[in-house]
Chains A and B, each alone.
Chain A
Amino acid sequence: MGREVAESCIDGVIIEMVSAYGRRFYATKPELAAHRIEAIGYQVGHQLIERYTMERPRFNDHLEVIKFICKDFWQELFKKQIDNLKTNHKGTFVLQDNNFRWLTRISIDPSSDNNDGSQGSSSEATNLLLYFPCGIIRGALSNLGIPCAVSADSSNLPFCSFMVRIKA
């Protein structure tokens, strides 16, 4: 326990993975690339949640699980907690992160605003990148016995929100 890796290495691996799936393997089929990246995230979340809930007692209800994700899980992964949690008490939760760690360095080219092609591709790349944390959340929740669907919204970088819909 306690071996460490430089954060730049993790950043590099994630960037390259998203770019490899998005531009090389499934360049013509972005939905498949998104699916793959989400599946990778699912596995990662699945395994990580085992580690981080090792010593904890069982959770009583869904809200406690989501609060655990927002506080401890996010703290372990991104060194900060989720800034804002909203719920409609019917199985939908919105997790908002004001400064999502993996988006802090993305910067859209200002002078290509009138060129729809490249603007589209930069937001596409950001969306592909965001499928990975969505998968992580979905994997974590499903290993705790809560099947769900997760989607992300990042209209305002680096502010990012994840919507979790629990399947009844």
Chain B
Amino acid sequence: MQFFSGSSVVDVSLSPTAPPGTATGHAGNNANVLYIFNRNGICLLYREWHRLLRTLDASQDQKLMFGLLFSLRSFTAKMDPVSADKGNLGVPLLPGQGCSFYSFRTNTYKLSFMESPSGIKLILITHPKTGDHRESLKHIYNLYVEYVVKNPLYVTGTPIKSELFTTNLDQYVKTLI
């Protein structure tokens, strides 16, 4: 199964109303890293605000992240004690299938995940004491739709280069708890 049709890194340093949040903690930004993948595993956006340790080079890092989430989704769907559907292990899941995994937490960070019906995966890494980030991820997805999908100059499936989007994203992330 070949999922990686090529990924390239975008290293870049109207809106709908944001859910309330106050900026505390690190100076300025409250999130550490954000990844956006599309359905084929292409990393549309990698944005970091506060990342101290870098172990792999960027494309390896993104492949690892995508692979992790792919496997985690499969795993959570198979181990679900409530669902009646026993699909085959290893078959790729469609965006709506299976229970939706949405975050995991370690002692140093918390990773929040959201997948849209169109296969766009948003991964947000923040400090471990944050609450649930599902609403924030929905808001970021909204920003993506407004400034990227509706941009006449954007070609779907390519890395995001829109200045409007990154500016609004930075502004919004500053307000996250």
Q: Which of A's residues lie within 8 Å of B, judged by CB?
A: 8, 11-12, 15, 18-19, 104-112, 122, 125-126, 129
Q: Which of B's residues lie within 8 Å of A, judged by CB?
A: 12, 14, 146-147, 150-153, 161-165
Residue on B nearest A23 in the bound complex, by CB = B155
Whether A106 pairs with B153 at a CB distance below 8 angstroms is yes
Whether A111 pairs with B161 at a CB distance below 8 angstroms is yes
The one of A109, A125, A126 that contacts B163, using a Cβ cutoff of 8 Å: A109
Complex formed: what's the CA distance from A129 to B163 in Å? Answer: 19
Hey, which chain A residues are within 8 Å of B151, CB to CB?
Answer: 105-107
Whether A107 pairs with B163 at a CB distance below 8 angstroms is yes
Complex formed: what's the CA distance from A18 to B153 in Å? Answer: 11
Hey, which chain A residues are within 8 Å of B152, CB to CB?
Answer: 15, 18-19, 105-106, 125-126, 129
Hey, which chain B residues are within 8 Å of A110, CB to CB?
Answer: 12, 161, 163
Question: Contacts A8-B150, A125-B152 given: A104-B162 contact, CB under 8 Å?
Answer: no
- Contacts A18-B152, A106-B152 aside, 9 further interface pairs with beta carbons under 8 A come to A12-B150, A15-B150, A105-B152, A106-B151, A107-B147, A107-B151, A107-B165, A125-B152, A126-B152
Complex formed: what's the CA distance from A122 to B154 in Å? Answer: 10
Hey, which chain A residues are within 8 Å of B162, CB to CB?
Answer: 107, 109
Hey, which chain B residues are within 8 Å of A11, CB to CB?
Answer: 150
Complex formed: what's the CA distance from A122 to B161 in Å? Answer: 12
Interface centre among A11, A104, A107 (most CB of B within 10 A): A107
Interface centre among B147, B150, B152 (most CB of A within 10 A): B152
Whether B161 pairs with A109 at a CB distance below 8 angstroms is yes
Hey, which chain B residues are within 8 Å of A129, CB to CB?
Answer: 152
Complex formed: what's the CA distance from A135 to B12 in Å? Answer: 38
Residue on B nearest A19 in the bound complex, by CB = B152
Nearest CB on B from A34, distance (A): 15
Nearest CB on A from B13, distance (A): 10
Hey, which chain B residues are within 8 Å of A107, CB to CB?
Answer: 147, 151, 153, 162-165
Interface centre among B146, B153, B161, B163 (most CB of A within 10 A): B153
Hey, which chain B residues are within 8 Å of A18, CB to CB?
Answer: 152
Complex formed: what's the CA distance from A46 to B38 in Å? Answer: 42
Complex formed: what's the CA distance from A2 to B130 in Å? Answer: 47
Chain A to chain B: the 3 pairs with minimum beta-carbon distance, closest first: A109-B161, A107-B164, A107-B162
Nearest CB on A from B36, distance (A): 16
